[in-house]
């Protein structure tokens, strides 16, 4: 199975900061990469699919890039509602997820 | 409005069984692959199983093969996960998710907690 490695595991940032999270696949997954936001006690929320496509209704401050094995999620200006845990997922069946990145208040 | 509502979780002893259900509404259930994903307390997400639209293909993560069975009833717009021989390490919130194929899973249910403990 394809392994997904996210970095960093935890990120401390302030409102207004530009934030970047990296996800690396153990083999090429083309662009079959999604990013999710999860808040405590809630289901994951899809932000980005096909590596760089913004899901409907998601604010434009979220963006994704990459292909093959290296991917990034960028939040251009961190907002109070963005403090959460973020997961990458490769969705070439069987799905696998990164271990998560917790974005916390600095 | 798309909705996925899981049920059937609870406390079960090691070696016991449980059947989870996921009731779908607001979309054509029979047109989508569906999946179960779990999250152990304080841990990350783990895909558990998925099933094709007509139920003809089913796949499982290695750790549940031979113990869990995924199924669906398109007439009832429902997805199921039969879990047998449960272990402590199966303790998790179990989510059902709609698989959009190349457009990634989009809708997830609110989850149902399964606790395996004596």
Q: Does B5 touch chain A (CB under 8 A)?
A: no
In tens, the pLDDT along B10-37 reads 999 999 999 999 999 999 999 999 999 9
C-alpha to C-alpha distances, A64 to A18, A51, B72, B108, B115, nearest whole angstrom: 13, 6, 34, 21, 36
How far apart CA B7 and CA B21 sit, in angstroms, is 5
Between CA B71 and CA B11 the distance in angstroms is 22
Q: Which residues pair with A79 in a beta bridge?
A: none
Residues of A with CB under 8 A from a CB of B: 32, 34, 36, 38, 42-44, 46, 49-50, 53, 55, 87, 89, 91, 93-100
Burial (0-12, 13-18, 19+ Cβ within 10 Å), A44: buried
pLDDT digits (tens, 9 = 90+) for B68-111: 999 999 999 999 999 999 999 999 999 999 999 888 899 999 99
- A93 pLDDT more than 90: no
**pLDDT (0 to 100) of residue B103:** 86
The per-residue pLDDT for range A62-81, each reduced to its tens digit, is 999 999 999 999 999 999 99
Which residue in B98, B13, B25, B118 sits closest to A55, CA to CA?
B98
The sign of the CA dihedral A37, B107, B54, B72 is positive
């Amino acid at each position: 199975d394809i392994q997904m490695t996210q970095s960093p595991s935890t990120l401390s940032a302030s409102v207004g900061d530009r934030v970047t999270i990296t996800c690396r696949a153990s083999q090429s997954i083309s662009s079959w990469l999604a990013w999710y936001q999860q808040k405590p006690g809630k289901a994951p929320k899809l932000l980005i699919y096909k590596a760089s496509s913004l899901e409907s209704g998601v604010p434009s401050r979220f963006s994704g890039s990459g292909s093959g094995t290296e991917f990034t999620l960028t939040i251009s200006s961190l907002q109070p509602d963005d403090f959460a845990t973020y997961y990458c997922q490769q969705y070439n069946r069987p799905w696998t997820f990164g271990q998560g990145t917790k974005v916390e208040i600095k | 409005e798309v909705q996925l509502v899981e049920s059937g979780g609870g406390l079960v002893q090691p070696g016991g069984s449980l059947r989870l259900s996921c009731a779908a509404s607001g979309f054509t259930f029979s047109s989508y692959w569906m999946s179960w994903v779990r999250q152990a307390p304080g841990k990350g997400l783990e895909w558990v199983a998925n099933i094709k639209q007509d139920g003809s293909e089913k796949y499982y993560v290695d750790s549940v093969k031979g113990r869990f069975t995924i199924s669906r009833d398109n007439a009832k717009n429902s997805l199921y996960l039969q879990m047998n021989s449960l272990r402590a390490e199966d303790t998790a919130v179990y989510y059902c998710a709609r698989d959009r194929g190349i457009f990634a899973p989009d809708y997830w249910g609110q989850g149902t907690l399964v606790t395996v403990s004596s």
